[in-house]
Amino acid sequence: MSRIERLGLAILHRMDPERAHGLSLRALRAGLVPLPGPVDLPRLHLTLAGMPLLNPVGLAAGYDKNAQAIGPLSRAGFGFLEVGAATPLPQAGNDRPRLFRLTEDRAVINRFGFNNQGMQAIGARLAARPRGMVPVGLNLGANKTSDNRAADFAAVLAHCGPHVDFATVNVSSPNTEGLRNLQSRTLLADLLTRVMEARLALARPIPVFLKIAPDLSPGELEDIVEVALLARVSGIIATNTTLSREGLKSANRDQAGGLSGAPLFEKSTRLLARLSHLTRGILPLIGVGGVGSAEEAYQKIRAGASAVQLYSAMVYRGISIVPQIATGLDALLARDGYARVSLAVGTGRDAWL
């Protein structure tokens, strides 16, 4: 981490977390953040659901909710980006405060509730975005007051799908009341049917991923896998934030909302390994939850992930953590004799089962 980045993080951590979040986006857009450019190392090249990636380290949804910093984020070392979540109508989200640092635990709790500017504004930015070698996807959401949430997901995909490289069905955020109920077998099947119909109507059908919660029972996970395979989704993202508070030390540990960051790593990786076992390599998986180092990214990959995503680690380590993880992952693959990252996928899964 450079001296400038260390100073910037120190200043941001003196602010309210949500204000600091917004300021970091403005600094990126203004060109005030040094960016390394693409991390392009042959050992890290892969194809994810038909998308060629320079490396398997992606940005998780939630940081750039309104697709305002795609250009600079594409130069930050990520192999792919996910923006959003976007809902059909703009919505303010839940009351503030709704974002909390848990510094002792290297974690974050949020209860944003899909605050975003709506698919019209987000779609316009996506249509105007710079095109390059870093795929950009959109996290799909539903409005809090909607009486037909399945239709909301399909509507966002229909409107924004022509302007993105992939989309994610987010039925696993804990911050919109009742949303996680859509992970139940019957509701999920109906939702994915409608979303996949909207995908087929696009002039250029794109990969559609399903993002799931870490707090699922073994039976619930089995149901989700069966429904996802029948719906022919392109892959599964595991996982979203957790409602668990086990082992936390920070003063904000009892705040309501979804917990992300370091404490989520083990829980999400164990579920990822079970998911890999259930899917038998049929679906590519993206591992999310607690990735803050090259070793942790490598563990996700060896547990069954084809690629990983991160967000909370940047709160504590800055955006320079992205190229550090990618280049560190390359070194770990070389150490263990893997010529391609894809050859390491799932090789350590049994240790997590």
Catalytic residues: 173
Instruction: Give the side-chain half-sphere CA count within 13 A for 180.
Output: 20
The radius of gyration of the chain's CA atoms, rounded to the nearest angstrom, is: 19
Tokens representing 146? Answer: 């909607």
Is residue 171 within 8 A of residue 142, CB to CB? The reply is no
Q: How many angstroms separate the CA atoms of 122 and 141, rounded? A: 12
Contacts of 148 (CB under 8 A, 6+ apart): none
Contacts of 237 (CB under 8 A, 6+ apart): 168, 209, 210, 211, 212, 285, 286, 288, 309
Q: How many angstroms separate the CA atoms of 88 and 104, rounded? A: 37
Q: How many residues does the chain have?
A: 353
Contacts of 154 (CB under 8 A, 6+ apart): 194, 195, 197, 198
Is residue 192 within 8 A of residue 155, CB to CB? The reply is no
